[in-house]
């Protein structure tokens, strides 16, 4: 490797460099950091800084730091780093490219002089030339300017097993574009593109920051808005909160000593949940869906003409993006490659092929199945107490950590059983049962009491499951070895036997687990909860004697639920149902 060609994703928010190492395309790291923030600045000592140090400085000295320079590529606009000197977008971009070049040289041990650099599909000739100029200033021969959606498709190995038409949805930190790409072996055609180069995760972060400020007392809000450094801290906190909410249902924004008011230090502590975030950013995501439909229409295609959807860019981790895309197209978007690294990896694949390497696609470790838990809910509009909700989805890159919220069913519920399954069916009983544990000692509070289920799956296939009562932090954990290994026939038989024991008599269980025993149906818990709520709503309308009978039935049914006595739950529910029927008929 005397004259390697590297692949570079020169991004609005982050940039990366990839090359062939040990026969595989890899993103090159520096001290464990694979992503280089696209920030350039002058430090307090007037030394040029780039990447993470410049990003950190932006909070304190935004006037001495430049970010999102990609948005200005191809324009005559110039920027300052705090002094009198002005710089073109190509010059600032060259600083980022030079840092990536040095990173690659350090890893590869040789001089790096050639590169493939990616650009958005909608970039004009002038913007593409500015990118070439930036490469030349950085000391790189730009052997190919590669469209970002094409790079993403190459990373996934598109076109090597026959022609494919893909929709590449690229939502980064500062820009959004969607492209319809047709790939057949080494021939790539961008059929249509649409987007907005001023829409991305940064815009999500601004909305989150506005939401944080709106929840503060007026005096504190005005003090923060008047302080540039305090506003920078709120912006950074909003960004971190938005990222965490891609994997967690709740997060806290905590900023201590953010400003002083009359000599008294002020603090910010606010909880944000995923539902709140999604409601805040929904209008922006709907704008991206309009671009999806526009690109399809421009290419004369319909969703059914696609072979798949690829997600690119860190902001696509937001669960709402995948769910709305699936709802709009009928396709489950692929995100089994790291969305922040996908384009750089594809540029690395193209660079490797130009070098003469036979690289098919990028190889990554992913979860071969979904892992989740059973819960009370509905399957095909029918109530069921063995619904399956995935916590870690199939094809999630490893290692992975995800958390999903669940709720208790009734007031003062003291324990919950966490039953863990592997599979893709909405009915937990049709998946593979791999373990369970009991969380006891829950707070005696009204339902719903929120229980957070966290799953951590590592590269060795070890799955750690933790259930935590959100209000108190009470938690319990179990570890499942070889969770991703294929089950042997004896393992499957044992798992099915445990399921028969755990869900003895569950409806539908006989479809897959019937061993000839007569099943006793479990009364569906959602219907019981609804029945109890209906009974409570009618208490005030009942005569005294009827009210006393209803209260006794309610208490007996609560006790049967708590004890898990299925026969008693069924009997008492029927008795209460009949009782309420006569009350309502009067």
Catalytic machinery residues = 9, 70, 148, 170
Exposure string over 252-261, b if 16+ CB within 10 A, otherwise e:
ebebeebbee
Phi-psi region of 438 (alpha: psi -120 to 50; beta: other; left: phi over 0): beta
Phi, psi of 113 (to 5 degrees): -120, -10
At how many degrees (to 10) do helices 274-298 and 201-214 cross?
150
Directed axis angle between helix 525-538 and helix 566-585, to 10°? 40
Q: Is the peptide bond before 448 cis (omega within 30 degrees of 0)?
A: yes
Supply 198's token pair. Answer: 């001023």
DSSP letters of 406-472? EE-SSTT--EEEEEEEESS-SBGGGSEEEEEEEEE-----PSPPEEEEEEEE-TT--EEEEEEETTT
Task: Scan for tokens 């009491």, then name that residue.
Answer: 449
Read off φ and ψ for residue 156, nearest 5 degrees.
Answer: -85, -5
Structure tokens at 239: 């960004």
Q: Which of 490, 486, 489, 479 is nearest to 454 (CA)?
A: 479
Which of 134, 127, 120, 130 is CA-nearest to residue 175?
Answer: 120
Q: What one-character DSSP code corresponds to residue 562?
A: H
Contacting residues for 252 by C-beta, under 8 A, at least 6 apart: 269, 270, 271, 272
CA distance 123 to 73: 9
Instruction: Quote the CA–CA distance of 228 and 230 in Å, as a whole number.
Output: 5
Q: Is 350 helix (H, G, I), strand (E, B) or coil?
A: helix
């Amino acid at each position: 490797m005397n004259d390697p060609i590297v692949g570079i994703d020169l991004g609005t928010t982050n940039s990366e460099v990839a090359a062939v190492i040990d026969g595989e395309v890899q993103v090159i790291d520096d001290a464990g950091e694979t992503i280089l923030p696209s920030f350039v600045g002058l430090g307090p000592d007037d030394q040029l800084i780039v990447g993470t140090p410049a990003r950190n400085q932006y909070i304190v000295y935004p006037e001495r730091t430049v970010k999102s320079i990609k948005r200005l590529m191809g324009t005559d606009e110039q920027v300052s780093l705090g002094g009198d000197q002005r710089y073109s977008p190509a010059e600032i971009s060259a600083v980022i490219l030079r840092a990536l070049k040095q990173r690659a040289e350090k890893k590869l041990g040789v001089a790096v002089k050639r590169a493939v650099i990616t650009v958005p599909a909608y970039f004009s000739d002038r913007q593409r030339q500015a990118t070439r100029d930036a490469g030349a200033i950085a000391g790189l021969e730009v052997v190919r300017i590669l469209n970002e959606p094409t790079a993403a498709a190459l990373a996934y190995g598109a076109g090597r097993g026959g022609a494919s038409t893909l929709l590449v949805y690229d939502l980064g930190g500062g820009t959004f574009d969607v492209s319809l790409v047709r790939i057949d072996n080494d021939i790539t055609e961008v059929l249509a593109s649409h987007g907005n180069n001023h829409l991305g995760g940064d815009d999500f972060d601004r909305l989150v920051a506005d939401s944080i400020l709106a929840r503060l007392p007026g005096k504190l809000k005005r003090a923060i808005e008047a302080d540039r450094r305090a506003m920078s801290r709120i912006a950074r906190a909003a960004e971190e909160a938005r990222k965490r909410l891609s994997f967690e249902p709740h997060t806290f924004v905590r900023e201590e000593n953010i400003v002083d008011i009359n000599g008294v230090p002020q603090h910010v502590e606010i909880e944000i949940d995923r539902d709140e975030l999604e409601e805040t950013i929904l209008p922006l995501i709907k704008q991206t869906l309009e671009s999806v439909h526009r690109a399809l229409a421009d290419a004369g295609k319909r969703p059914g003409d696609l072979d798949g959807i690829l997600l690119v860019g860190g902001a696509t981790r937001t669960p709402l993006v995948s769910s709305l895309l699936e709802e709009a197209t009928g396709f489950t978007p692929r995100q089994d490659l790291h969305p922040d690294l996908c384009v750089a990896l594809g540029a690395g694949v193209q660079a490797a092929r130009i070098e003469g390497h036979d690289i098919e696609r990028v190889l990554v470790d992913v979860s071969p199945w979904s892992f989740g838990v059973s819960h009370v809910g509905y399957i095909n509009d029918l109530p069921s107490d063995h619904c399956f909700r995935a916590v870690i989805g199939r094809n999630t890159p490893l290692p992975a950590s995800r958390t999903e919220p669940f709720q208790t069913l009734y007031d003062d519920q003291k324990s919950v059983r966490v039953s863990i399954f592997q599979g893709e069916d909405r009915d937990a009983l049709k998946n593979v049962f791999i373990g369970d544990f009991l969380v006891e000692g829950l707070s005696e509070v009204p339902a719903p009491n929120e229980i957070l289920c966290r799953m951590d799956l590592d590269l060795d296939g070890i799955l750690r499951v933790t259930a935590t009562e959100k209000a108190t932090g009470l938690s319990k954990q179990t570890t499942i070895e070889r969770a991703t290994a294929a089950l042997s026939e004896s393992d499957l038989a044992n798992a099915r036997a445990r399921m028969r024991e755990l869900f003895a008599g569950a409806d539908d269980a006989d479809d897959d687990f019937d061993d000839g025993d007569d099943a006793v149906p479990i009364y569906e818990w959602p219907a019981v909860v609804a029945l109890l709520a209906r009974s409570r709503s009618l208490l005030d309308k009942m005569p005294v004697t009827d009210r006393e009978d209803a209260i006794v039935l309610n208490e007996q049914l609560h006790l049967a639920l708590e004890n898990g006595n299925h026969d008693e739950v069924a009997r008492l529910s029927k008795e209460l149902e009949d009782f309420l029927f006569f009350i309502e008929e009067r």
